[in-house]
Structure 1
């Protein structure tokens, strides 16, 4: 396994080296615009400004556990770039820890069934997880996704190792579920599904099933209760503003496309190409075709795999059980987000649990190639490693991959023309609000007040006495009217795709 060990070290060094890019690069990809909403909240908490995105108004547009975990990055320094660097290092370590958990789960489940040594299977699994372009994107994007992967894998791993159910392991499972809920609120579906699942466990007497199910759910509820209370007490809704701003039923073709694209992409995570190739409906059909091929291949080459898991040792059976739970959780998320979330461009991130299922299929497939000494094994693993190394080199060079348009265009535009003492508004205000004070968010992700003024943004801006707006033309027309100039907004300057408007005193 020396060959694979070397590839794994190369990948880790390549990823970790991204932590030492210069200031204008460290704030860029793979960290995304929405991460800066969370960063702003964490920074304001650290600086004693309360739970706020702008330093003045309370917000609940963030995921609490991850946000509070990164508060120390802002508490130890006033240098925003250094804080982002610290957060990125934390995410790299979390990514590596997730790969460790994933590899441990696969090693102890499939080693005997695949007739492969535990050490070999561990390194194959560790390598495949760490080299995946989709895991790379989602675990290092600056959001809570990396923590979700880690905690979900910890939940699976702990359940897998249970011999007999007792109060200790039920309490720990309840704690892990509670942490998942305060990492991302949609994990409440996992708590409900697991509650029902425990009730159906025939290996226990019904009384024990009921007690354990209630205990597990109660612990998860108690851990997440402060978050539920905070939302309802201050904002009259248990749903954070980040969810409310994108909540709504709307059956449109782009949602169908994006949900199918997310499912297909997440089932074969190593084919993610940063939306450069294999895109559109062709990409969806190609990926579903690849999934079907892998499943049929494994069915032919490894017949009765699921039955063998059921009949094998306790650890394998536990893995199969928890895999069913996670799969059902994933299906619920598919319907929830398809029906009720307008943020269809983030479906692939919201459905991250499917990515784990897809990566399991990938590992089994590549492990079979290794066991049978197929030449494809070496070429495929080398290709995966090369792809991720090229991505890191690209990120170091600042070429090919798009630089953050918000940092490159929106922020300088505002800094040049808008006085520091005046508020500027924007729908996309993550990066802008992180690097500049007095920014008013208009899409509602971190601003509950604006949600009361749906389609009445000019009235809201007038009420708040905000006379500056900077965003894309689409958002200018959405917020200021189809013709902002006729409504009294003067176009001051255009930079990149961003338009800066100012409204003179009425």
Structure 2
């Protein structure tokens, strides 16, 4: 294929990716909010950016300062809220359109990185699989920093490969730019610290192999300096306000993962007090491995197995089969990658081994410490991008193997690949254009506006979307964007916090009230109001008014001190 045709095909792929993601971004707000395109956490970012734009400080509720967000993305949103005025939808459309552009740019970088080690066709196919895959269609425009941070990871890796790693003596300016890129990467999402670590480690090992000079080592100091320049101020703010390098949301996610263990059926009720046990950790390890089934090149295969299981009533059997096949595929991929070093032409691919280490560290951090299994699909988003780069290498080997085979076998392979590509696009289309309601938050916000008075203060655990769309004062209770509430949860003094804040209503899913307010199902039926009772499928949310809350508190269903029964103090 001529260079002109290669450029045309690459541009066509990028335009197709842009069209797909803009078609998602420009759906009506109700569909985006209800059907799982936007997370509830997305609206924490939107609301914090809106408060910054309105001069209310770095807060979700306009009162409590927070660091429960990834700063780069939120700060990028502030101008959108400044120019949008009172509109709630325009800033969201601006944000999602921006995320669509970041997804396209990431696809381009996937192509450029893969192209350094493969022929044109495997590289452009890898970019297409990345940008057009079902998982990227759902996560690329999710209203969070996911697309931005993954782009920064890809950009930092590309710059390292293009301007640092292959140069005998990279100049001071290149190291300084590289350090700034890494700093912005960490600012986009704190997980970027793992990338900083593996890149510095890779370059140190390379210098050892090359017998690098002390001058190069001195220039390497510009890398942590660049990180400190961009991430340092935010780190100092975190340390000053939280006493920890972790943002409020990261600390809360770990705690809530254990507190919600019974809700998600992956642990016992006492984990939030006693800390994680081996069974809980093992559940997260298994879930981490299971999420690898949505890696873009193989996602459709495993999803087809699940669909087939539903149709033939053999879901359990085919699920086990899929798990076994997935483990076998991971092992075989590892064997293939390890054998590349035996071939001089393929050995260059091992220069990207640091990306595999990055993936491992990222997955281990969430499996063993942070947890948050309910968000693994977006936490591991960079892993899916990196998998497409390595898939391009495997695809090139497959293409080379078939070139030496008969025409009949080649045509058969092309037919199978075409069928898989059509199935791939069908699954992506179903994600985009046949979505179904997933979250009730948008309609609950409407219920709040219709069933409460202006000026009322309402406490909600899962409150992102409700706080954004309702015009009431919504106070976060799960601690993601309210460290005082998180402290109350950890010390078992939530009722004291509720009383101090003079909340007029507590609102959330009945199971959440059982966990944090120690309310029995009978007490919930007696004291709470059903939210959205007119819906065909009840959402399970209930509201607890102040009068009922006062009665419950006075009868010690919710205590008022560290020893109260709602949630015992968390062990250090």
Query: Which of the five TM-score ranges fits, normalised by the shorter chain?
Result: 0.7 to 0.9
Q: Structure 1 residue 231: deviation in Å?
A: 1.1
Greater C-alpha radius of gyration:
2
Match of 2:182 in 1: 177
Match of 1:419 in 2: 453
Match of 1:502 in 2: 545
Structure 2 CA distance, aligned partners of 1:338 and 1:49? 36
Structure 2 CA distance, aligned partners of 1:83 and 1:63? 18
Q: Structure 1 residue 349: deviation in Å?
A: 2.4
Match of 1:482 in 2: 519
Structure 2 CA distance, aligned partners of 1:275 and 1:245? 36
Match of 2:419 in 1: 379
Which aligned pairs between 1:347-496 and structure 2 lie closer than 5 A?
347-367=376-396, 372=402, 373=410, 374-375=413-414, 376-395=416-435, 401-408=436-443, 410-436=444-470, 437-454=472-489, 455-483=492-520, 490-495=527-532, 496=539
Q: Structure 1 residue 485: deviation in Å?
A: 7.2
Deviation larger for 260-269 or 494-503: 260-269
Q: How many residues align?
A: 483
Match of 2:26 in 1: 20
Structure 2: 5+ residue stretches without partners: 256-274, 310-314, 403-409, 533-538, 552-572
Give the direction of change, closer, same or farther, for the CA distance of 1:357–1:13 in structure 2 (3 Å limit). closer
Report if aligned partners of 1:469, 1:500 keep a CA contact under 8 Å in 2.
yes
Match of 1:241 in 2: 248
Structure 1: 5+ residue stretches without partners: 112-117, 396-400
Q: Structure 1 residue 369: deviation in Å?
A: 5.3
Match of 1:285 in 2: 324
Q: Structure 1 residue 236: deviation in Å?
A: 2.6
Give the direction of change, closer, same or farther, for the CA distance of 1:32–1:358 in structure 2 (3 Å limit). same
Give the direction of change, closer, same or farther, for the CA distance of 1:240–1:218 in structure 2 (3 Å limit). same
Report if aligned partners of 2:138, 2:431 keep a CA contact under 8 Å in 1.
no
Query: TM-score, normalization: structure 1?
Result: 0.86
Report if aligned partners of 1:134, 1:269 keep a CA contact under 8 Å in 2.
no
Structure 2 CA distance, aligned partners of 1:329 and 1:356? 12
1:210 to 214, 217, 225: 217
Report if aligned partners of 1:258, 1:345 keep a CA contact under 8 Å in 2.
no
Q: Structure 1 residue 71: deviation in Å?
A: 1.6
1:115-164 deviations in Å (ceiling 9; x for gaps): xxx2x344322211112222222222111111121111111111221331
Q: Structure 1 residue 381: deviation in Å?
A: 2.0
Q: Is 2:110 the partner of 1:99?
A: no
Give the direction of change, closer, same or farther, for the CA distance of 1:487–1:383 in structure 2 (3 Å limit). closer
Structure 2 CA distance, aligned partners of 1:71 and 1:124? 36
Structure 1 CA distance, aligned partners of 2:143 and 2:217? 39
Q: Is 2:59 the partner of 1:30?
A: no
Report if aligned partners of 1:60, 1:446 keep a CA contact under 8 Å in 2.
yes
Q: Structure 1 residue 255: deviation in Å?
A: 1.8
Give the direction of change, closer, same or farther, for the CA distance of 1:175–1:76 in structure 2 (3 Å limit). same
Match of 1:260 in 2: 289
Matched residue of 1:384: which SS? helix
Q: Structure 1 residue 287: deviation in Å?
A: 2.4
Matched residue of 2:475: which SS? strand
Matched residue of 1:61: which SS? coil
Structure 1 CA distance, aligned partners of 2:215 and 2:99? 39
Give the direction of change, closer, same or farther, for the CA distance of 1:306–1:128 in structure 2 (3 Å limit). farther
Matched residue of 1:34: which SS? helix
Query: TM-score, normalization: structure 2?
Result: 0.77
Match of 1:337 in 2: 366
CA RMSD across the alignment = 3.0
